């Protein structure tokens, strides 16, 4: 069973306490929510990278050099 | 200018690890609070995790503004969160970093006994023998009029736990 450390500042005593079923369920829900949010973030980053690469390819096709394309992003 | 730093309590994680660390029954006799933490969790799929901070077991009213980056400056950026269930954004070490290294985190909480909303600032940096190393600074707000009587630190991503030798010390600071 996972535990947490609770420090009572009035006594200085540290107690190792087993997590309750509710706390464990919340941790698991948090993990699932994070995994979902992380997947969405990665998908957004990939979409941005792909859009950037496509735009740079179009600019190159118009005759811009790599340095000129890079200068547009500064 | 603060002229006292009084250690109130220190906790060090034992061999069994700990899902979180919580300071309770914090005395109301200081002006500000400071937590200095040395943290590492058991995450293995990333070199960095956010530390989650909550007060008084409250799950609402938190907002942050965060600036972050890594040692190569390849991913600097900022993030804003409002209406959150905790303060997150401050980075900590994971088990993907060099063995026996720990992140350094400093959490400053001024006027914790005030009936006004509570501000918080956090400065954190990870450590590893290589790259990437992450740093973050966070300006946070807890929109709550209660005095702060407990502070909890936890790894953000669900079922992680702090590993052995992680530690945190709570200091009380008086303005006179």
User: Following DSSP, what letter does each residue of B124-168 receive, concatenated?
Assistant: EE---SSS--EEEEEEEEE---SPP--EEEEESSSS--BPTT-EE
**Arithmetic mean of pLDDT, B146-166:** 91
Number of domains in chain B: 1
Instruction: Give how far B112 is from chain A: nearest CA, Å.
Output: 15
The pLDDT of residue B2 is above 60: no
**Which DSSP string corresponds to B16-66?**
T-BS-EEEES--S--SEEEEEEEEEE---S-SEEEEEEEETT--S-EEEEE
Q: What is the pTM assigned to this prediction?
A: 0.83
Query: Which pLDDT score is estimated for A37?
Result: 72
**Chain A residues touching B9 at Cβ < 8 A:** 7, 9, 12, 14
**Chain A residues touching B13 at Cβ < 8 A:** 5
Q: Hey, are the CB atoms on B8 and A14 less than 8 Å from each other?
A: no
**Arithmetic mean of pLDDT, A46-58:** 91
How far apart CA B137 and CA B151 sit, in angstroms, is 19
The pLDDT of residue B168 is above 90: yes
* Residue with the larger pLDDT of the pair B132 and A65: A65
Among B9, B20, B158, the residue with its CB nearest the CB of A28 is B158
Most trustworthy range by pLDDT among A37-51, B77-91, B100-114: B100-114
**Arithmetic mean of pLDDT, B73-95:** 77
Comparing CA positions, the residue from B112, B170, B92 lying closest to residue A14 is B170
Report DSSP state, residue A37.
H
Exposure letters B77-97 (e unless 16+ CB within 10 A, then b): eeeebeebebbbbbbbbbbeb
How far apart CA B64 and CA B138 sit, in angstroms, is 7
Query: Which pLDDT score is estimated for B165?
Result: 97
Strand, coil or helix: what is B4? coil
The pLDDT of residue B1 is above 60: no
The CATH number linked to B86 is: 2.60.120
**Chain B residues touching A5 at Cβ < 8 A:** 11, 13, 18, 20-22
- Percent helix / strand / coil, chain A, rounded to 5: 65, 15, 20
**Arithmetic mean of pLDDT, A10-23:** 92
Query: Which pLDDT score is estimated for B26?
Result: 98
In total, chain B counts a number of residues equal to 176
Rg (CA), chain A: 25
Query: Which pLDDT score is estimated for B10?
Result: 96
Give the pLDDT band (50/70/90) at residue B3: low
Q: Hey, are the CB atoms on A9 and B9 less than 8 Å from each other?
A: yes
Query: Which pLDDT score is estimated for B161?
Result: 92
**Chain A residues touching B158 at Cβ < 8 A:** 27-32, 34
Domain interval for residue B123: 5-173
Report DSSP state, residue A63.
T
Among A4, A11, A23, the residue with its CB nearest the CB of B18 is A4
Query: Which pLDDT score is estimated for B78?
Result: 78
Q: Hey, are the CB atoms on A7 and B157 less than 8 Å from each other?
A: no
């Amino acid at each position: 069973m996972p535990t947490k450390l609770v420090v009572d500042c009035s006594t200085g005593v540290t107690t190792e306490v087993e997590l309750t079923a509710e706390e464990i369920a919340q941790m698991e829900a948090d993990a699932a929510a994070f995994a979902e949010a992380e997947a969405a973030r990665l998908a957004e980053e990939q979409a941005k990278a792909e859009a950037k690469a496509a735009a740079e390819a179009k600019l190159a096709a118009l005759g811009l050099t790599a340095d000129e394309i890079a200068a547009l992003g500064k | 200018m603060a002229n006292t730093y009084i250690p109130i309590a220190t906790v060090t994680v034992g061999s069994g690890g700990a899902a979180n660390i919580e300071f309770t029954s914090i005395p109301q006799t200081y002006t500000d609070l400071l937590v200095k933490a040395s943290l590492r969790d058991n995450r293995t799929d990333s070199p960095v995790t956010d530390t989650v901070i909550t007060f008084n077991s409250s799950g609402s009213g938190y907002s942050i503004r965060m600036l972050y980056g890594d040692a190569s400056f390849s991913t600097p950026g900022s993030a804003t969160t409002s209406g959150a269930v905790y303060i997150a954004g401050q980075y900590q070490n994971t088990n993907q970093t060099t063995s026996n290294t720990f992140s350094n985190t400093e959490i400053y909480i001024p006027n914790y006994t005030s009936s006004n909303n509570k501000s918080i600032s956090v400065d954190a940096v990870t450590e590893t023998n290589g790259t990437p190393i992450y740093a973050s600074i966070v300006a946070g707000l807890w929109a709550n009029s209660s005095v702060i009587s407990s502070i909890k630190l936890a790894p953000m991503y669900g079922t992680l736990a702090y590993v052995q030798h992680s530690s945190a010390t709570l200091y009380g600071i008086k303005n006179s």
